Amino acid sequence: MLDPRRLRSNLDDVAAALRRRGFELDTARFSALEEKRKALQVETQELQNERNTRSKAIGQAKARGEDIEPMRARVAEIGARLEQVAKALDEVQAELDGMLLEIPNIPHASVPDGEGEDDNVEVRRWGEPPAFEFKPLDHVALGELHGMDFAAASKLAGARFVVLQGPLARLHRALIQFMLDLHTQEHGYEEVYVPYLVNADSMRGTGQLPKFEQDLFALKGEQGFYLIPTAEVPVTNLARDEIIEARDLPRRLVAHTPCFRSEAGSYGKDVRGMIRQHQFEKVELVQLVPPAESYQALEALTGHAEAVLRRLELPYRVVTLCTGDMGFSAAKTYDIEVWLPGQERYREISSCSNFEDFQARRMQARWRNPETGKPELLHTLNGSGLAVGRCLVALLENCQEADGRIRLPEALRPYMGGQAYLEPRK
RNA sequence: GGAGGGUUGGCCGAGUGGUUGAAGGCACUGGUCUUGAAAACCAGCAGGGGUUAGCGCCCCUCCAGGGUUCGAAUCCCUGACCCUCCGCCA
């Protein structure tokens, strides 16, 4: 959520900034609502003031043993009027809040203008796409050799699921352990275990609700649970309604969770293989930092995600998302894209974003600024470190040998019982 | 699933209808004292919002939402969450 005060005082500037990312702010509607709100709020507060003052006087009169009946009648009148005005104010405020919740974040000045994926700007590359002396297979064909079973998954659940068998399932698990160990032991993150079902408040806090409900899986029943689409939701919401002391910052948290996404609106995209699933595993990095440090933290966090690919010896590039391709809540995002020989292109494997105070304002996540002594909004960041399924895909495709074996990078071998290769099952 | 207890400021904790936005303690900040630190003492210290050039003034908030009342942290109803005991259970 953007700062309502900023909207009030700089409406045109905000509208111009939002236009960069293709969002047209209805300034006329906002101004009209805001004007109504102001008038109603002032009137409400004046009436409340009068009621309070007179009620106090009644208390004092009563203590002196005076007759209070006439005074009571006057205050009752005020109360009746107050009720009407307050109701009108509530309605306007609700409409205004609804509008604010659907306005996306303002892109940082360093974010390039653009309309979509094609306008993203490459920042750097690492590693060389492997040169094969044979025709490399894609992960679906390789998966067939190693125990990746889409038919079984479709029987159990449907499309966009996978079953992994034997050593491949172990490799999948090994990747998770490796990533968690790297981030906790070398990058200073604290590992957390969190619920995979969350309430609507949490979804609102990070920005999935109210606008993107169709992307989520919601559970039947009265509890109002949603399946998390990413660990970002439970982990970032740890800070919701909290005031964190400056000495406890920055907070660096890492969690491994399954992620559940309905993928509504992506019909026909990536239907083959395990690139786009309803259920996948992810290791997520989250940082809570003082505002002055957030862009520095974004660079560091992106580096932590990159480190995973370097250790796994997988070639990748980093791109800055353009204004038109960024997510709703982000002020700036780097995508890390890994090379996939099966597709002969780089594909997203991590998305690292600084949300500035956009999420923090929604969830009232604050810190105590020692310079002012006051609670102020934090900046929140997160990034995949990494998406496990896609990492498995990249590993299969990049590390394949002519005979269908998969050469395991050194970093993973301790997690695979010392094996250097994954042998085909058939 | 059954029965009971609870939810107050950053934390702990008093407070059952009227200057209580809330005693006291801890933590924190500033000061006195000290070579320095600690201790002791003094002072300050909730959050959100409106309005104002500013000083300030005002409003809201004691889990949430309703209700009673001139007036609610305090009374009533509903809900959420936490705790204890019983049952069940990985």
Residue numbers in A 266-295, CB below 7 Å of strand B: none
Listed residue (A136, A135, A162) closest to A147, CA to CA: A162
**Could you tell me the distance in Å between the CA of residue A369 and the C1' of nucleotide B31?**
22
- Is there a contact between A231 and A201 (Cβ–Cβ < 8 Å)? no
A45 Cβ contacts chain B strand, under 7 Å: yes
Strand ranges (DSSP E) for A277-365? 279-289, 316-320, 332-340, 345-354
Q: According to the model, what pLDDT value does residue A222 have?
A: 72
User: What would the pLDDT profile of A162-172 be if each residue is shown by its tens digit?
Assistant: 999 999 999 99
Tokens linked to A101: 């919740």
Tokens linked to A150: 């889409």
Listed residue (A253, A399, A321, A254) closest to A116, CA to CA: A321
The predicted model gives A378-407 an average pLDDT of 96
**A252 pLDDT exceeds 90?**
yes
Looking at residue A411, the DSSP 8-state letter turns out to be: G
d(C-alpha A337, C-alpha A334), whole Å: 10
Listed residue (A186, A134, A172) closest to A310, CA to CA: A186
Residue with token string 């309803």? A278
**Could you tell me the distance in Å between the CA of residue A364 and the C1' of nucleotide B28?**
21
**Could you tell me the distance in Å between the CA of residue A58 and the C1' of nucleotide B48?**
29
Tokens linked to A42: 């002032």
Catalytic residue numbers of A read 261, 276, 348, 351, 390
Its pTM stands at 0.92
Q: Which value does ipTM take for this structure?
A: 0.82
Looking at residue A275, the DSSP 8-state letter turns out to be: S
pLDDT tier at A324 (50, 70, 90 boundaries)? very high
With distances taken from each CA to the C1' atom of nucleotide B49, the closest residue turns out to be: A41
Residue A321 sits at φ, ψ, to 5 deg, of -70, 140
Q: According to the model, what pLDDT value does residue A6 have?
A: 87
Q: According to the model, what pLDDT value does residue A94 have?
A: 85
A279-289 and A379-387 strand pairing: antiparallel
**Residue A50, nucleotide of least CA–C1' distance:** B58
A93 Cβ contacts chain B strand, under 7 Å: no
Q: According to the model, what pLDDT value does residue A248 have?
A: 86
A53 Cβ contacts chain B strand, under 7 Å: yes
**Could you tell me the distance in Å between the CA of residue A49 and the C1' of nucleotide B50?**
12
A36 Cβ contacts chain B strand, under 7 Å: no
Question: Does residue A136 have a cis peptide bond before it, meaning omega lies within 30 degrees of 0?
Answer: no
Which helix (H) or strand (E) segment holds residue A258: the answer is strand A251-260
**A221 pLDDT exceeds 80?**
no
Strand ranges (DSSP E) for A322-404? 332-340, 345-354, 366-369, 374-377, 379-387
Beta bridge partners of A281: A258
Distances (CA, A) of A270 to A266, A307, A316, A375: 8, 26, 20, 45
A225 Cβ contacts chain B strand, under 7 Å: no
- State the CB neighbour count (10 A cutoff) for residue A27: 13
User: What would the pLDDT profile of A181-194 be if each residue is shown by its tens digit?
Assistant: 999 999 999 999 99
Q: According to the model, what pLDDT value does residue A228 have?
A: 94
> For chain A, what percent of residues have pLDDT higher than 70?
100
